[in-house]
Amino acid sequence: MSNKDMMPQFALFQPSDIENALELLEKYGENGWLVAGGQDSFDWFKDRAKRPEAVIDLGGIAELTGVRETPDGIEIGAMTTLTEISNNTTIKSQYGLLSEAAGRVASPQIRNAGTIGGNVSQDARCWYYRSGLDCYRAGGNTCYADTPEGMNREHCLFGASRCVAVSPSDTAAAMVALDASMVIRSSAAERVVPAEEFFIGPDVNITRMTVVEAGDILTAIRIPAKWAKAEFYFEKVADRNTWDFPLVNVACSKIVNGGVIEDIRIACAGVECVPKRMTVVEDIVRGSNQDEETAELGGGSASRGASPLNYNHFKIPLMENLVKRAIRGNSSNGTVPVQQ
């Protein structure tokens, strides 16, 4: 039996409320590890790449689950499963972009266990990093993907700073496109962070992908009423329809009146370490007619500033075309497998 067949030993705690979970986090510090659905955590443990002293399972904290309507929109508990979000009638009827994105994550079995908080908080998926190599993100002094021999087909077009890994989350781009806010608790205080600032790149901190620090718990996600029942578009391109992470995805919220795009938010995943908000595209198409000319102008601007790597040049026309389709808004949503 290999070491990877067994997880390393750790103490398991299953608190029933947030206060108890925060006390445990404070006690164990960097040796404590939060588990939501466990889909990412258990991989780390089985590969013995992470060896926490204490694992704190949030699954028993009822206040972290569920979808609640508020005067300002909706609030979603961070431990709400992706299946619940995909099937929730309020989200489907008012914020269908998130329902669609959640329903395209991985497989039905993973969505049944995986949570929205875990999905937006997952770590980089670069195989060099995951294999335990001493890359920059792991504390070394090399990016193995960004070398002449490196395999970087799935890696970034923007925002490289020592690390070229991308945001792997399907729902993260939807959060940015919906102008969501992330509620984070610590033993000291609660803070609310816009989704666009929740995700951070390697130029800010190469050791993590979000602003959540040791001692913090992401407790909820809030989506403002402004985007309720807007026009939405989500499309994901992956190697396979099931399980795979996006090569590129696009999430778009639009307010259209009389054929004119009054307001728009659009973001892509799979092209940067964070979900990339396409502000240049938004500025070009906002106030314009929702027509082919606008789509062409917007899509063509999506790749401004892109710096492809050896094996991911294909992502540029792919991203541009997804943005065009999102602006047109006349193609069916879903997951599109890449033809090899």
| Domain-ending residue, one of 19, 40, 60 | 60
Answer whether 56's CB lies under 8 Å from 34's CB: yes
For residues 75 and 224, state if they share a domain: yes
For residues 135 and 35, state if they share a domain: no
| Domain-ending residue, one of 36, 60, 84 | 60
Q: Is position 1 within any domain?
A: no
| Domain-ending residue, one of 60, 77, 104 | 60
Q: Is position 271 within any domain?
A: yes
For residues 45 and 152, state if they share a domain: no
For residues 224 and 250, state if they share a domain: yes
pLDDT value, residue 334: 45
Tally of domains within the chain: 2
Q: Is position 2 within any domain?
A: no
Q: Is position 81 within any domain?
A: yes
pLDDT value, residue 5: 59
Q: Is position 258 within any domain?
A: yes
Query: pLDDT tens string for the chain (340 positions)?
Result: 455 557 889 999 999 999 999 999 999 998 999 999 988 888 877 777 778 999 999 999 999 999 999 999 999 999 999 999 999 999 999 999 999 999 999 999 999 999 999 999 999 999 999 988 999 999 999 999 999 999 999 999 999 999 999 998 999 999 999 999 999 999 999 999 999 999 999 999 999 999 999 999 999 999 999 999 999 999 999 999 888 999 999 999 999 999 999 999 999 999 999 999 999 999 999 999 999 999 999 999 999 999 999 999 999 999 999 999 999 985 444 444 443 3
Distances (CA, A) of 324 to 246, 297, 314: 18, 8, 16
Closest CA to 286 of 306, 315, 261: 261
Distances (CA, A) of 12 to 55, 57, 81, 219, 262: 5, 7, 21, 20, 51
Q: Is position 252 within any domain?
A: yes
For residues 339 and 250, state if they share a domain: yes
For residues 33 and 80, state if they share a domain: no
pLDDT value, residue 42: 82
Q: Is position 135 within any domain?
A: yes
pLDDT value, residue 133: 93
For residues 55 and 151, state if they share a domain: no
Please state the separation of Cα 296 from the chain's center in Å: 27
For residues 199 and 104, state if they share a domain: yes
Task: Please write down the HEC assignment for all residues of 192-256.
Answer: EEEHHHHECCCCCCCCCCECCCCCCEEEEEEEEHHHCCCEEEEEEEECCCCCCCCCEEEEEEEEE
Q: Is position 223 within any domain?
A: yes
For residues 47 and 100, state if they share a domain: no
User: What is the rounded CA–CA span in Å between residue 53 and residue 216?
Assistant: 17
Answer whether 67's CB lies under 8 Å from 22's CB: no
Q: Which domain holds residue 47?
A: 7-60
Q: What's the CATH code of the domain at 236?
A: 3.30.465.10
Q: What's the CATH code of the domain at 43?
A: 3.30.43.10
For residues 170 and 253, state if they share a domain: yes
For residues 80 and 55, state if they share a domain: no
For residues 32 and 105, state if they share a domain: no
Helix H segments across the chain?
A: 18-28, 41-46, 82-87, 89-94, 96-102, 108-113, 116-121, 127-130, 170-177, 195-198, 279-285, 292-301, 315-328
pLDDT value, residue 39: 82
